[in-house]
Structure formats: structure tokens, C-alpha cells
Structure 1
Amino acid sequence: MQSENPFVADFVKMMNSAAGTFAGMTREARDNMRERAREFMGDMDFVSREEFDAVKEMAATARAECEELKARLDELEAKQLRGA
């Protein structure tokens, strides 16, 4: 038959409570760090991937239009030089 020592039982209860408290502190610290990182990143004016892709597409369209206009201008200048 196993006798239960009150000192050991109290020590085990205290260790279980300490483990639970430590686990709670770990979760709280992790959540706090995530929130701080989110705030830090929010203050840095980063753009979303969708915004970046939209601006990239706009720049490609503008470049293509610029190249078309340059070709038309070159053509008009060539016609003017031949006519003059």
C-alpha cells in the first residue's frame, strides 16, 4: 500500500500550478510579440501584394504606350524630314 505524503502532494500541486502559469505566460508573451510586430509593420507603410501587382501592371502599360508614342513620333519626324 502506498502512503501519500502531504509534502509531496503539495509539491506536485505547486509544480502543476507553476507549469500552468508558465504556459499562460508563454502564450501571453507570444501574443504580445505578434501584436508589437503587427504594429511595427503597420507603421512602415508597406503595400499589399495586390497593390504592388496593380502598380506594376500600370507601369508596364505606361511603358508600352510610351514606346508606341515614340515610334509614332519617330515616324512623323521621318515624314517631316522627307517632305522638307
Structure 2
Amino acid sequence: MVKKYYTSVVRVKGSKKYKMVPVKSSEPIAQDLFIECSKVISRIYLGVPIESGDEVCSNILNTGVDIITTRSIEN
């Protein structure tokens, strides 16, 4: 089972400059879970302000791994 860091983007509401914010897993997860992670992430919207390192989803798919933002976004 190959484990890698999962990266994606989450939609942002309330920012005129940015529509998406990059996110990543806090730890490597099994690569065969990437599609299921994408399905979960696609349903999430974040409001501004967003700080780098904010938790977007805790314990995604019961893996014990969190999804966190990798960029800060102001209003």
C-alpha cells in the first residue's frame, strides 16, 4: 500500500480575489483513498479569513489524518 500526501483545493466564499484555497493532508494517506477524499473535499466551502494551517476536515475517512490549508486568505 503506497502512502502519499494528498493535495487538493477547497472553494472559498467571501473573497473577491480568490475562489479556491490549496489544502493538503497533515500526514501521508493510502493512495487508493484519494478519490474518496476528493468526493469529501468537493462538498466543503470555507469562509474568509483563512489562515495557513487551518483544519478543513478532521480525521478524513477515519484515517486519523486531517486536511489543512496551505495558504492564508484575507477578506
- Would you call these one fold, judging by a TM-score over 0.5? no
> If each structure's helix is expressed as a fraction of its own residues, which one has the higher value?
1
Instruction: Return the TM-score normalized by structure 1.
Output: 0.18
TM-score (norm 2): 0.20
**Which structure is higher in RCO with an 8 Å CA cutoff and minimum separation 6?**
2
Higher strand fraction: Structure 1 or Structure 2?
A: 2
